[in-house]
Copies of this chain bind each other. A is one copy, B any other.
């Protein structure tokens, strides 16, 4: 009994993560959900509005997820493990990170969406930096940058090889000590 708007966002998110934002159309959304394209336009007047809504929703969802992880475990390295497990979930579904995808297709999205994607990664980087700082690293920001880079890249490679374990392997170096 999820509402239409949520159904659209869910499906659009999934299609963006698999085919890319330019890899699906309003017809794909309408047909799968069982509505007409005019109805999709009712919720998202132009496709760019849909892109913006997708990034904003992921930003919100992940911010809440980070808070949950912080409350659930006190060990910063265990928190990083939780993040890894979450992104391995993408690989298991043959998906890439939504904002990573938008970042890849950067020149084909509007400046407005590009700014939202930038904001997402800034928040993510800041959160990771806090974890490395808590873990006692002097170069926490640099560690966080390396972790975030390897996370995005490894999800790409892991999906290509259909092996979620690759994400964990690629990030092993950041978990010891």
Contact = CB atoms under 8 A, between A and B. Distances in A.
Nearest to A24: B108
Interface of A: 18-20, 22-23, 94, 96, 100-101, 103-108, 114, 117-118, 121, 142, 145-146, 148-154, 156-157, 159-161, 166, 169-173
A11 to B, nearest CB: 14
Contacts of A170: 145-146, 148-150
A128 to B, nearest CB: 12
B152 A145 contact: no
Contacts of A104: 20, 96, 100-101, 104-105, 156
Given A142-B172, A146-B170, A166-B145, A157 B103 contact: yes
Contacts of A159: 103, 106
A157 B121 contact: yes
Contact of A153 (B106, B107, B150, B169): B150
